[in-house]
Amino acid sequence: MVYKRHNKSRYRSGLEMNVALFLKENQKKIRYEALKIEWEDLRYRTYTPDFVLDNGIIIETKGFFDAEDRYKHMEVKKQHPELDIRFVFSNVNGRLYKGSKTTYADWCEQKGFLCSHRVIPQKWLTSKGKEIKLSVITLKTPRKDLIK
């Protein structure tokens, strides 16, 4: 198994950097984009979550949460119900689209995801769970693109 070195200069947003700084003080390891999760819709895909906590909780940080991301997360949850994926939003009160009454927090509650505003709650860090030691979580069903 190849381990990536933690490189704090490669984050895609300030929110990711702030979460990483928080995890540096509160976790044994910072696992940033160290896991790939296979999923399918009309074709084979992989999803790379932002962070994986020591207890196996997967953290996805989001500033903007568009329809494509929402669809992807619903499919990943359907295909991998054993995974605990949680969101940290830069603004949980952000609207799904202009004029929508539904906030990011409302959507998460409706779909069964936990979410937080800007920081990872301490209780997420202390929740019981099992460390994910894999680098790739594969599909449980045969890939559609390989079936002939």
The model's pLDDT over 34-52, given as tens digits with 9 standing for 90+, comes to: 999 999 988 999 999 999 9
The model's pLDDT over 85-118, given as tens digits with 9 standing for 90+, comes to: 999 999 999 999 999 999 999 999 999 999 999 9
Report the CATH architecture of 33-138.
Answer: 3-Layer(aba) Sandwich (3.40)
Residue 52 three-state SS: strand
Q: If you search the block for the tokens 């990483």, which residue do you land on?
A: 20
The structure's pTM equals 0.89
The structural domains of the chain, with segments of one domain joined by +, span 33-138
Alpha-carbon separation of residue 47 from 28, 38, 118 (angstroms): 24, 6, 22
Helices (H), 27-143: 67-79, 104-111, 122-126
> Residue 23: in which H helix or E strand, if any?
helix 14-26
